[in-house]
Chains A and B, each alone.
Chain A
Amino acid sequence: MKKSVLALFLIGILAFSVVASGCIGKEETAKTSAGKIAIVYDVGGRGDLSFNDMAYLGASRAAKDFNLKLVELQSNTEDDYVRNLETLAQQGDYLVIVAVGFMMTDAVKKVAAEYPNQHFAIIDGFDPEMPDNVMMILFKENEGSALVGALAALITANSGKDKVGIVLGMEIPPLYKFEGGYRFGVAWARDYYKQKTGKDVDIDVLYQYTGTFNDPAKGYQAAKAQLGQGAWVIYQVAGGTGVGVFQAVEEYLKAHNQKMGPPYAIGVDSAQEWIKPGAIIASMMKRVDVGVYSAVKAAVEGTFKGDMVELGLKENGVGMSSVDDVMAIFDSLPEDTQKQKLKELGFNSKEELKKYLEDTRKQVPDWIWQAVDELKQKIINGEIVVPKALNKEQIEAIRKAKTWQEMEELAKKWAS
């Protein structure tokens, strides 16, 4: 008796699944496309509000603009990188396979060597012996960090303070680019402020490497200590650890009955202002979307070159966020998350959030924003060269340098 019931049940399920599977998934095959592209995310995956989500934005925009079919692939663990890339390469019908994140560097190098006719692009990864069917897309984080450094220093000097902070993740060479750029921006702002107001404020940069990218508590402690020492604007370059920096600044504001800064935090990688509106003044954006887009564009237009491509301010590969950038990121969140976040922040609509972000920016006088823009133009023109510290020795040299001109000298020396 029991067995026959079970058997009937199983047959029922089977019949149902066969019928139902016939009903779905038939519609969308007809659409024609000019080709296919694939994107492989690292273990952070979609929904990280940062790297992978930005990469998706770029890939989907490129897919739309060039009429391509986009295939996405997530990685469960690091062990999946080779398997995922290999599975795609084996199919052999992608214009380009984009790997997101430096963690995939080894895997791309290996699979690209096995499939020399397949184009690959890796975002933020570099290897001197990379096969020449791989485009390595890197970002000039030093340039973007210089902009937020100038912003931080000018806000600080304008409030009659003399310290800014930077909280970083693990002490690894890629982060020296951020720290060096930030210091350069601060030094440049000192000069600018002196010329504008006649006052020379020697702005100190408090810096701390927390040793981790995913411990908000450590970021909180570091930021709290810096605020205690008088830091007026704090730049976070610490991934998940940086959320603690935002918390510390928000708490400081609450304790002083302020809704908006200063003091402020500065976000990194994507436009993070929506996380704590009022406490975050701007973000240094690493336009992963632009990187992915340009790789696809090169592959479509036949200009693809296996080489290192560095995207800076000029190429819009890095930059300081605008309110529109923040809203674009916010719009890309799932609907439910958006609603929940708005409720949490006490806004009734997205427009209210946008207005609030604009009001936050108005706390900072116009001339400061213009000054930052001036620096941006000068870097784009090549009038000013921002140093790029690649190792301990170079960052030490920047830390010792007194003026931005000294730092620029270093930049020119290292470039040659």
Chain B
Amino acid sequence: MKSSISDLIAAFNFKALLESLIAIVIGFLIGALVLLAFGYDPAVAYSALFGGALGSTNSIASTLAYSTPIMLTALTFAISARTGIFNIGAEGSFYFGAIAAVIFTNIWANMWFGLAMGILLGALWSLPAAFLKVYRGVHEVISTIMLNWIAWFFVFWLVVGPYANPNDPNKTIRIPESARLPLIGNTNLSIAFIIAIIMAVLSYYLLWHTVFGFGMRASGLNPRAARYGGVDPNKAIIWSFIIGGVMSGLGGAMKIMGEPPTYAISQGMANVYGFGFDGIGVALVGRNHPLGIIFAAIFFGMLRAGTALMQIEAQVPLEIIKVIQGIIVITIAVPGLYDLVKNVFKKG
């Protein structure tokens, strides 16, 4: 036990943490300048942002609920990145996880069945890109972007077609009540958040405390050296895609099964779109480290949850809030982005 805690501390890269903290401060300062330029008071705006994100039990619950799906899609990106793969297919697996939850909980109204089918479909959808990469050398950026679109249109068809709600055509049929994820206390937060944290910790354990994970990381750092050392990089790549698909599929399923009040995919897929892409940002801010991602996702959740109070108390319009948050996120992602680019050139 003692050793595992010291391991945990050792695994934490304090230099990276410091860089990120400095980046956060710089991001907020530049954001403050923009607020000033538009004539808003940064002090009022930022205190409303944090008050709205952390000021009450409901606020904290919202922050954590917003952080849940992007935590999982960020894990998809990070696990692949550690294996040397630039996987942006989280989006597609997320859609499949969501629609799987709708379809299968309406066959058997059981929560675990719904989650399992979300995981299964999410993982299956990650396979084409994995095989194309390993056996045909198709670059994963190209294949995952294309597969995202295929997933989008196919799931869209399911949403407006066979699974549209006949009583309310603006969404799909709902998740049956007995299959919904239980809420924590008297809040809007479901156990999805806890499951996401467990997944992040498991990912960390897998990557840094198992031979299997060591092999994945080794082939990410240098596939030839890894092969020399007895690791099959192809196998590592395929598994990283599959584990990534598991995370996003689970994320998609929990988005629909664990978020009141709708419990359905809405028309135009508006409540499942974009989480895969946001996850890339979260992964970069979290430096592609599963434990860093937990904090990064919660930080993103805070920005989202604080938006309402920032509009009310500081009277900052949503558009400007989005600009500010964009600046903050980009600034914070710079160190992670730098790592990524550096690695690409090193391999180069």
Interface residue ranges, A against B (CB under 8 Å): 10, 13-14, 16-18, 20-21, 24-25, 38, 43, 45, 71-80, 82-84, 86-88, 90-91, 102-103, 106-107, 109-110, 170, 172-173
Q: A75-B318, A106-B262 are in contact. List 8 more A-B contacts (CB 8 A).
A: A21-B43, A21-B44, A24-B39, A38-B312, A71-B312, A74-B318, A76-B318, A80-B304
Among A21, A71, A173, the most chain B Cβ lie within 10 Å of the Cβ of A21
Known: A73-B312, A77-B270. A82 touches B33 (CB 8 A): no
Inter-chain CA distance A88–B36, complex, in Å, is 26
Report the minimum CB–CB distance from B171 to chain A (whole Å): 9
B270 touches A86 (CB 8 A): no
B312 touches A88 (CB 8 A): yes
B188 touches A82 (CB 8 A): yes
Q: Could you list 30 A-B pairs, sorted by A, with CB under 8 Å?
A: A10-B25, A10-B29, A14-B29, A16-B36, A17-B29, A17-B32, A24-B40, A24-B41, A25-B40, A38-B312, A43-B270, A71-B312, A73-B308, A73-B312, A74-B317, A75-B318, A76-B304, A76-B307, A76-B318, A79-B66, A80-B307, A82-B261, A83-B305, A84-B308, A87-B308, A88-B308, A88-B312, A91-B312, A102-B170, A109-B261
Interface residues of A, dominant DSSP: helix
Known: A71-B312, A73-B311, A86-B58. A17 touches B170 (CB 8 A): no
Inter-chain CA distance A153–B227, complex, in Å, is 78
Say yes or no: is B62 at the interface (Cβ < 8 Å to chain A). Answer: yes
Say yes or no: is B134 at the interface (Cβ < 8 Å to chain A). Answer: no
B170 touches A172 (CB 8 A): yes
Pick the residue among B39, B62, B170, B271 that contacts A77 (CB under 8 A). Answer: B271
Produce 1/0 per residue, B46-90, CB < 8 A to A: 000000100010110010001000000000000000000000000
Report the minimum CB–CB distance from B173 to chain A (whole Å): 14
Q: Which residues between 286 and 325 of chain B lie within 8 Å of chain A, taking CB atoms?
A: 304-305, 307-309, 311-312, 317-318, 322
B322 touches A20 (CB 8 A): no
Report the minimum CB–CB distance from A239 to chain B (whole Å): 12
Report the minimum CB–CB distance from B325 to chain A (whole Å): 10
Inter-chain CA distance A256–B309, complex, in Å, is 55
Report the minimum CB–CB distance from B132 to chain A (whole Å): 32
Say yes or no: is B162 at the interface (Cβ < 8 Å to chain A). Answer: no
- By beta carbon, the residue of chain A nearest B270 is A78
Inter-chain CA distance A38–B309, complex, in Å, is 12
Interface residue ranges, B against A (CB under 8 Å): 25-26, 29-30, 32-33, 36, 39-44, 52, 56, 58-59, 62, 66, 169-170, 188, 259-262, 266, 270-271, 274, 304-305, 307-309, 311-312, 317-318, 322
B42 touches A17 (CB 8 A): yes
A residues within 8 A CB of B317? 74
Interface residues of B, dominant DSSP: helix
B260 touches A82 (CB 8 A): yes
B33 touches A13 (CB 8 A): yes
Pick the residue among A21, A72, A74, A106 that contacts B261 (CB under 8 A). Answer: A106
B residues within 8 A CB of A73? 308, 311-312
B residues within 8 A CB of A88? 308, 312
A78 touches B308 (CB 8 A): no
Report the minimum CB–CB distance from B196 to chain A (whole Å): 16
A residues within 8 A CB of B274? 77
B residues within 8 A CB of A77? 270-271, 274
B residues within 8 A CB of A86? 58, 62, 188
A13 touches B170 (CB 8 A): no
What 5 A-B pairs come out closest when comparing CB atoms? A74-B318, A110-B261, A87-B308, A106-B261, A172-B169
A110 touches B260 (CB 8 A): yes
A170 touches B169 (CB 8 A): yes
Report the minimum CB–CB distance from A296 to chain B (whole Å): 18
Known: A10-B26, A17-B36, A103-B170. A80 touches B308 (CB 8 A): yes
B271 touches A21 (CB 8 A): no
- By beta carbon, the residue of chain A nearest B62 is A83
Inter-chain CA distance A295–B308, complex, in Å, is 23
- By beta carbon, the residue of chain B nearest A72 is B311
Inter-chain CA distance A133–B40, complex, in Å, is 35
Inter-chain CA distance A170–B42, complex, in Å, is 44
Inter-chain CA distance A170–B161, complex, in Å, is 12
Report the minimum CB–CB distance from B73 to chain A (whole Å): 14
